[in-house]
Structure 1
Amino acid sequence: MLSTLQPLLGLGVILGLAWLASERRRAVSLRLVLAGLALQIGLALLLLKLPFAQAVFLSMTDLVLAVQRATQAGTELVFGFLGGGAAPFETRYPQNSFVLAFQALPLILVMSALSALLFYWRVLPLLVHGFAWLLRRTMGTGGALGLGAAANVFVGMTEAPLLIRPYLAGLSRSALFALMTCGMATVAGTVMVLYAGILSDTVPNAMGHILTASLISAPAALMIAGVLVPEHPDAADRAIVAIPSTSRSSMDAITRGTLDAIPLWLNILAMLIVMVALVSLVNQMLGLLPTVAGEPLTAQRLLGWVMAPVAWLIGIPWSEAQVAGSLMGIKTILNELIAYLELAGTASAELSERSRLIMTYALCGFANLGSLGIMIGGLGAMAPERRDEIVALGLKSILAGTMATLSTGAVVALIL
């Protein structure tokens, strides 16, 4: 009985806190909240109880991985072993051979070129209008946001907005924030295989669970974002207009898309370096304080203590809540990769099988300070006229993304 009441209470607390932190409480749409919860629970039941449905979505991830492999072919040619090619020497520490700038981020260039081509071919405008029709009848959101939210399940927080780049300037404040929150609440298909490999010995069918987590968190992100920054009734479809392509041919579209992505790539690199450096500075200052329980204080450790009651609310037993809270602290201050490594390592022995599965879902999102740097750099380059708005909403998007993944963890705890 308690295992059911805990996550129900957790969902109520998460939504209650979001409502208290809302910019306009009276404007919160009850329809959006109910539709978001229904989609979360419906997707969880579908994907966790009907394995064939999960297989369909895994095939979509294969498409993303095909683009990633194609990108790697280019990075290997240009950057050699730094871009993922075979090293011309013996690698003593292969776990350190991954170079983010030359192996993961070049996907932005390819996605930008593909999205420009698909926009020129009028494929993306059709998808935008299709999502507009669907989401207006379920959650009351617009089509450009819907396509961006759906894409976030399979690609990253900077690649997904590239698909709707022509619409970004016209998005309402609420829709822009929802797009940012979706980026924070999901993970890209390009890292799903990496995370699944890390958790393979800890969580059975890890790949299926990580994909399911990202799918369930998409409607959760739209719901939480809509509560924190409610939409104006006349603004939902502001971006759905016929925007002509400026490209003159398919090759021109590919060229423009590629060249437009170069400043985006550089912006992301610069912001990521600075944000991680600032976290390190804070931890160095905290390290000057006296140790607690024989260990130095860090930002992620402090946040872990705060997150322990939250971990209990989503279904983790109190005896394991401190460990689960520390994982959330690591994920928020550092990143989800390090949190998953910890979950698969020392934390695995301290958590039950059920708790490990719940935390797999709760950790499955990009909501951390490093990702904030990536998002500000990426979206700011794509929509420079809205950079101030993006920066102002940045920290709130981390909060919203975290609340979305926590609600996904609570939903899964209800079903298990």
Structure 2
Amino acid sequence: MLYQNYYRAFYTLLVAAITTFLILDTAKARHRLVGLGGMAFFVVFMFVFSRNPTKINWHPVIWGFFLQFCVGLMVLRWEYGSTKFNQLSEIMLTFLDFSKNGTDFVYGFLSAPPDICGMDPVFAFQSIQVVVYFGAVVALLYYYGIMQVLLRKMAWIMQVTLGTTATESLNACACIFLGMSEAPLLIRPYLERMTASELHAIMTTGFSCIAGAVFATYISFGACPRYLLSATVMSAPGSLACSKILYPETEQSQLLNVEDLKLPEGEESNALECISNGAVMAVELVLAIVANLIVFLALLALLDAIILYLGELVGHDGWSFELLLGYVFFPLAYIMGVNNDTEETFRVAQLMGTKTALNEFIAYKQLGKMVKGKLLSPRSAMIATYALCGFSNFTSIGIQLGILGGMAPTRKRLLSKLASGCTFIAIFVIFNFSFRALLAGCISCFFTASLAGVLVKTPIACQGLTSSAKCFNVSYFQDIVDNSVTQAVNIPQSQFLQQFLSSQ
């Protein structure tokens, strides 16, 4: 009882201190506090739809959000931390940029086209190829044991502060670098013994993070490196907090301490074999990304055509799938504090809907077009960047079930133990469990975006990687030639040459 009173008093003081800081910090910009309403709504929503609201352990929830707040302060507001984080972002970009040496040699002008205005590199032959390079480097870090040490230290910090189990903490830290497909490989031997809440946390963390290998791709679309990197770090503790609200722990975990985990080591005989295997394994991910983009962009066009046709039948022209998604997600975008401008809020809502219904690649591509066309303010673009930073879409449900089910076949019973042989009920239970995790992942991303909107005073604007300002403008010189030909017919040859040379 004494400890409960102590914790209650501590949490009360903590909330009061944060509230006081935000009130003073937003004295000249009260519109930033709108995001607080969004954060409160998400917490209440998760509590109402929690699997067992009375069993929620608020310690990991409060500490998860508090750790997220501290990380946000450190990288977004603290001058020294912000400077160092910006330097880290630049280092990351330089590191990923080395992949161009390989792609330019292999693919030639497809990845490094001539410096002509409007002629950009082919996406599949430049940006997405960073995945292969990154996969090989991560495999090399595993071979030398560097990644294991880094993840173990980060997981220990998260476990001490949040009180989450060893597997949950380790997976959350691994997702920052590896993403939802590779991170569970670290805890593969322990999946069979995990509780339902732990498995739910694993899925939630996977939905709320992105893989480090796709950073360069999103940056090429126009997402700010600083925001991307901070979003994936902030989402790690936030995703665990959201998971523990929607699916609280009601069992006794067998994996409490990080020290008890034995992380896998590289099985290759030497470093060269390790690099080769890592690159080859990453090729499968590249093919999956390309295939999904082709299919979903085609399906998006199909849905737009169908909805446009149905709209015309009832006398409403201009309907599209993105338009409908914008209406659905508009209330969420508004309470997240996107902007006072209704049109900008609606555009961000469309991006959120596209990311959830299709995938984040398409959403970031559309975000880049909006930023380039100056359709979004820096603040709206920043919040959208945070909100889109995660694999929380319906396609990822199948990917997660395939990965976790393949690594731990016996855990499939968790998803169908209430089915009693009925196929329809089994499908409902599987969807219910997975949908909770997807919902928690979406809310984690939106919560992080709301927090960023509250903390950041002056958002920065970023542009995608496009052709240089000194590129060869074909249209400009075509106009010069056309005008010169016209003038050549009407003026003497000497005068024509003089005018043509003076125009250069």
TM-score, length basis structure 1: 0.76
Deviates most, 226-235 or 131-140: 226-235
Task: Report the Cα distance in structure 2 between the residues aligned to 1:199 and 1:254, rounded to whole angstroms.
Answer: 30
Deviates most, 303-312 or 260-269: 260-269
Deviates most, 122-131 or 362-371: 362-371
Amino acid in structure 2 at the alignment position of 1:241: L
State the partner residue of 1:165.
185
Q: CA deviation at 1:38?
A: 0.8
State the partner residue of 2:501.
none
In the alignment, is the contact (CA less than 8 A) between 2:159 and 2:169 conserved in 1? no
Q: Of 146, 158, 168, which aligns to 1:135?
A: 158
Q: Of 407, 422, 441, which aligns to 1:401?
A: 441
In the alignment, structure 2 segments of 5+ residues that lack a partner are 1-22, 24-29, 416-429, 458-504
State the partner residue of 2:239.
221
State the partner residue of 2:253.
234
Q: Give the share of equivalent positions with the same residue, in percent.
A: 26
In the alignment, is the contact (CA less than 8 A) between 2:221 and 2:365 conserved in 1? no
State the partner residue of 2:356.
332
State the partner residue of 2:119.
94
In the alignment, structure 1 segments of 5+ residues that lack a partner are 201-205
In the alignment, is the contact (CA less than 8 A) between 2:303 and 2:320 conserved in 1? no
Q: CA deviation at 1:168?
A: 3.2
Task: Report the Cα distance in structure 1 between the residues aligned to 2:72 and 2:115, rounded to whole angstroms.
Answer: 45
Q: How does 1:238-387 map to 2 (within 5 A)?
A: 240-243=260-263, 245=265, 247=267, 249-251=269-271, 252-291=273-312, 294-298=317-321, 300-316=322-338, 320=342, 321-334=345-358, 335-344=362-371, 348=375, 354-368=379-393, 375-376=399-400, 379=403, 383=407, 385=409
Task: Report the Cα distance in structure 1 between the residues aligned to 2:324 and 2:244, rounded to whole angstroms.
Answer: 29
2:52 corresponds to 1:33: no
Task: Report the Cα distance in structure 1 between the residues aligned to 2:264 and 2:220, rounded to whole angstroms.
Answer: 43
Q: CA deviation at 1:358?
A: 3.7
Q: 1:356 to 1:414 in 2, by over 3 A?
A: same
* Structure 1 residues 235-261: Cα deviation after superposition (integer angstroms, max 9, x where no partner): 554985325646253334444444544
2:172 corresponds to 1:149: yes
Amino acid in structure 1 at the alignment position of 2:309: L
* Structure 1 residues 355-374: Cα deviation after superposition (integer angstroms, max 9, x where no partner): 5544443344443456667x
Amino acid in structure 2 at the alignment position of 1:326: Q
Q: CA deviation at 1:289?
A: 0.7
Q: 1:341 to 1:122 in 2, by over 3 A?
A: closer
Q: 1:409 to 1:267 in 2, by over 3 A?
A: closer
Secondary structure, aligned partner of 1:68: helix
In the alignment, is the contact (CA less than 8 A) between 2:151 and 2:173 conserved in 1? no
Q: CA deviation at 1:265?
A: 4.5
Q: 1:237 to 1:244 in 2, by over 3 A?
A: same
Aligned residues: 399
* Structure 1 residues 262-310: Cα deviation after superposition (integer angstroms, max 9, x where no partner): 5455455445544554444443432331147631231x32121121111
In the alignment, is the contact (CA less than 8 A) between 1:185 and 1:366 conserved in 2? yes
Q: 1:227 to 1:12 in 2, by over 3 A?
A: same
Secondary structure, aligned partner of 1:294: coil
In the alignment, is the contact (CA less than 8 A) between 1:268 and 1:378 conserved in 2? no
State the partner residue of 1:51.
79
Q: CA deviation at 1:134?
A: 1.4
In the alignment, is the contact (CA less than 8 A) between 2:154 and 2:173 conserved in 1? no
Task: Report the Cα distance in structure 2 between the residues aligned to 1:91 and 1:277, rounded to whole angstroms.
Answer: 28
Secondary structure, aligned partner of 1:216: helix
In the alignment, is the contact (CA less than 8 A) between 1:301 and 1:329 conserved in 2? no
Amino acid in structure 2 at the alignment position of 1:48: L
Task: Report the Cα distance in structure 2 between the residues aligned to 1:111 and 1:195, rounded to whole angstroms.
Answer: 15
Secondary structure, aligned partner of 1:247: coil
Task: Report the Cα distance in structure 2 between the residues aligned to 1:199 and 1:40, rounded to whole angstroms.
Answer: 25
Task: Report the Cα distance in structure 2 between the residues aligned to 1:34 and 1:107, rounded to whole angstroms.
Answer: 37
Q: CA deviation at 1:14?
A: 0.5
Secondary structure, aligned partner of 2:304: helix
Larger Rg: 2
Q: CA deviation at 1:344?
A: 1.5
TM-score, length basis structure 2: 0.65
Q: Of 48, 52, 55, which aligns to 1:20?
A: 48
* Structure 1 residues 330-388: Cα deviation after superposition (integer angstroms, max 9, x where no partner): 44345331342354156736x6x655544443344443456667x55994698485896
Task: Report the Cα distance in structure 2 between the residues aligned to 1:348 and 1:267, rounded to whole angstroms.
Answer: 31
Q: 1:234 to 1:340 in 2, by over 3 A?
A: same
Q: CA deviation at 1:33?
A: 1.3
Task: Report the Cα distance in structure 2 between the residues aligned to 1:144 and 1:55, rounded to whole angstroms.
Answer: 32
In the alignment, is the contact (CA less than 8 A) between 2:201 and 2:244 conserved in 1? yes
In the alignment, is the contact (CA less than 8 A) between 2:128 and 2:214 conserved in 1? no
